[in-house]
Structure formats: structure tokens, C-alpha cells
């Protein structure tokens, strides 16, 4: 039991707490938090760009082919090619290639359509691997930020000579804990967003590829049906 005069002196003059700068009293997010914000912003840009691109190139292939077929039946190949040029997307490019190579027979048309299809699919999937990579890497970056945050807590507990080892100012501990929690929460949110967006965009790409496959078959029949004649080796029997 401390003597009365000593207790009174402690109550009158409590131990001075360490001086904290305005920056130390403000919530600190940590470096990894801002790295995650940058990565998440890049993911949002990729998703918006892909959505706009896929919306632009996905067309009603049945209606488009019907219009081209009507023009071809009137022997107006120039107008059919103009319709293909004015229509965005891989389906229009496939049909245009089939029309341009209609005199080469079925083998030539199939070869050209396959070449165009192989070049169009990577264009549809552009930046999707980046989105998948962000979905996988974001939790690791969040874990790194969490470890950095707890490292700051233990660094504060190590003491700076004012409170002694094993003690730290509450603001110092809260700063490290907030870094850990914010980094973990933001990384999980980014990963969930990227994973959902990636699956949706892959679904949109698969729908366009299915349209391309159907349109390629229709384009072959369209080209051979107008270009072929009885006895033409490129015409179906």
C-alpha cells in the first residue's frame, strides 16, 4: 500500500502520455490498403470496358442473317457487304468473309471462317485473365496488409521508452488494428466482385461464341446457296 502523500502526488501529477502528432491520431489505412484501392479501381475499369464492348458486338444474329439473305437473293452483293461493314461484331465479320470467298467453294469458306473465329475469340476474352488474376491476388494482398497492421500493433507494444515494454498508447494499437481490418475487408470485397464479374463476362462471351458458330453454319449455306450451281464442286448435293 502506497503512502497517502505518494498517492496524492500521483493523482495530482499523473504520468505524461506520449505526445501524438495529428497524423498519429488520425486513422491510418496503411500502404497495402491504397494498393488494394488501386487494384480494385483497375478491376472496375476492366469490367466496364468489357461490358461496353460485349454489349456493342452482341447482335441479333438471326435478324442480321435474314437481312443479308434477302439482299443476296436480289444479287446485290455490294449492299450485303455494306450491311456487314455497318454491323459491329464477329458475326458480321464471319458473314462478310463467307460472302467474299463464295466462289472458292465450301472448303475455302470453312477455312476462312475458322481463321476469323480463332482471331475473334481472343478479342472477346481480352483482359478477362487480368480480372481472374486480380480475384486470386487480392486476398493475398489483403493478408499482407493485415500482417503489416498487426506488425504495427506489436511495434507499439514493444514500447518507445515512455510506457515501457508491453504497453502502448491506445491510438497506436487502434491504428494497426484498423489497417489490418480494412485491408482484409477491402481485399475480400475486391475478390468477390472480380469473381462474380469474371463469371458473368465469361457467360456473355460464351453466348457470343455460340452465335458465331450458328452464324458460321448459316453463312456457309448462304454463300453456297447463292454461289453454287448444279455441278459446282463447292455446292452441297
Chain centre distance of CA 225 = 42
Domain boundaries, the chain: 31-227
Place of cell 450458328: 214
Dist. CA 107–CA 125, nearest whole Å: 28
Convert the pLDDT of each residue in 126-155 to its tens digit.
999 999 999 999 999 999 988 888 887 777
Convert the pLDDT of each residue in 77-110 to its tens digit.
888 889 888 888 899 988 888 888 888 888 888 8
Q: What percent of the chain has pLDDT over 90?
A: 30
Place of cell 457470343: 208
Q: Of 198, 202, 200, whose CA–CA distance to 132 is shortest? A: 198
Convert the pLDDT of each residue in 220-235 to its tens digit.
888 777 444 333 444 4
Tell me the DSSP string of 59-105.
--HHHHHHHHHHHHHTT-HHHHHHHHHHS-SHHHHHHHHHHHTGGGH
User: How many residues belong to the chain?
Assistant: 237
- Does residue 65 contact residue 84 with C-beta atoms inside 8 Å? no
Amino acid at each position: 500500500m502506497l503512502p497517502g502523500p505518494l498517492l496524492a502526488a500521483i493523482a495530482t501529477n499523473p504520468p505524461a502520455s506520449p505526445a501524438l502528432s495529428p497524423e498519429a491520431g488520425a486513422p491510418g489505412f496503411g500502404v497495402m490498403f491504397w494498393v488494394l484501392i488501386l487494384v480494385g479501381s483497375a478491376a472496375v475499369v476492366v469490367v466496364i470496358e468489357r461490358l461496353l464492348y460485349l454489349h456493342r458486338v452482341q447482335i441479333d444474329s438471326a435478324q442480321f442473317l435474314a437481312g443479308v439473305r434477302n439482299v443476296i437473293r436480289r444479287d446485290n452483293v455490294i449492299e450485303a457487304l455494306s450491311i456487314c461493314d455497318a454491323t459491329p461484331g464477329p458475326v458480321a465479320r464471319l458473314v462478310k468473309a463467307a460472302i467474299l470467298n463464295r466462289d472458292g467453294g465450301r472448303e475455302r469458306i470453312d477455312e476462312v471462317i475458322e481463321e476469323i473465329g480463332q482471331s475473334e475469340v481472343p478479342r472477346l476474352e481480352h483482359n478477362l485473365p487480368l480480372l481472374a488474376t486480380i480475384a486470386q491476388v487480392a486476398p493475398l494482398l489483403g493478408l499482407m496488409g493485415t500482417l503489416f497492421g498487426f506488425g504495427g500493433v506489436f511495434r507499439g507494444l514493444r514500447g518507445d521508452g515512455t510506457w515501457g515494454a508491453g504497453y502502448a498508447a491506445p491510438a497506436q494499437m487502434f491504428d494497426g488494428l484498423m489497417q489490418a481490418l480494412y485491408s482484409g475487408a477491402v481485399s475480400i470485397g475486391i475478390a468477390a466482385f472480380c469473381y462474380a464479374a469474371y463469371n458473368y463476362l465469361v457467360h456473355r462471351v460464351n453466348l457470343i461464341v455460340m452465335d458465331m458458330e450458328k452464324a458460321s453454319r448459316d453463312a456457309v449455306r448462304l454463300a453456297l446457296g447463292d454461289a453454287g450451281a448444279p455441278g459446282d464442286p463447292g455446292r452441297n448435293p
